[in-house]
Amino acid sequence: MKKVQEHASHGGMQEVWQHHSHTLGCDMRFGIYLPPHAVHAQCPVLYWLSGLTCTEQNFITKAGAQRYAAEHGVIVVAPDTSPRGVAVADAEGYDLGQGAGFYLNATQAPWAENYRMHDYVERELPDLVEAHFSASNRRSISGHSMGGHGALVLALRNPGRYHSVSAFSPIVAPMQVPWGEKAFIAYLGDDRDAWRQWDACELVRAAADSANKLPLLVDQGEADEFLDTQLRPELLEAACRQSAHPFTLRRRAGYDHSYYFIASFIGEHVAYHAAALADR
């Protein structure tokens, strides 16, 4: 690994590291905030997944999470959203290819060679973090937009791996919205049954008989320009109600899809995850 950035912040250190990912077959970067507590003891980890067009930089420079991570003694890890590089498949537009990995494991050419963001976030990245930093194996996960979709799917597909999950403005039903349909056709092919394992609403329905359901927390801005066309939180609300899955949807009047929204409530989310990480 190679450290490419380091900044003191709220008594801790905000760093960016680069490494070669065997899962993705390319070099990757991730941001990691190490709170003051990490100097003396292992700390739990909150993984943050960003949205379309983002890198690790958007969250670490705009969300203001460092203050709250320092207060609660939580490491925050923010990976890039997608595999990148001249040898990695790409597409025109912002919603497919590099910058739009959708946190799934692609099965279709040319994407299948590199686009395995689910496996990277689930296994390779935490293995790296827990081996090289003062990080425990207590994990929570959160994200925004496409990253909110990724956080929900990772938590629902891996029961017991995360202590808590939350999302800002997530794509909750990618099978039913344009962003998701475009990505799924390209990455997964035309078989819609194969899509279900990457759709939070479908995963909630499939887990209807599970005895241990991880509560889902979603914050959604009511002035979000993508609310009615791409996000549709009411679909996840209905799926959770039907399956008796614990779900909290907080609609925030006046807030849009931007990092102004995330920065306004990230402290509440960090506190929520810190409490869950401390309880288990």
Catalytically active residues are 145, 224, 257
Please name which of 273, 208, 236 lies closest in space to residue 48, comparing C-alpha atoms. 273
The sheet carrying 2-9 orders its strands as 2-9, 12-21, 26-34, 75-79, 43-49, 135-143, 165-168, 216-221, 247-252
In whole angstroms, how large is the CA radius of gyration of the chain? 17
Question: Residue 64's Cα: distance from chain center in Å?
Answer: 17
Strands of the chain, DSSP E: 2-9, 12-21, 26-34, 43-49, 75-79, 135-143, 165-168, 216-221, 247-252
Token representation of residue 139: 């994990």
Q: Are 175 and 184 in contact (CB under 8 A)?
A: yes
Strands of 144-235, DSSP E: 165-168, 216-221
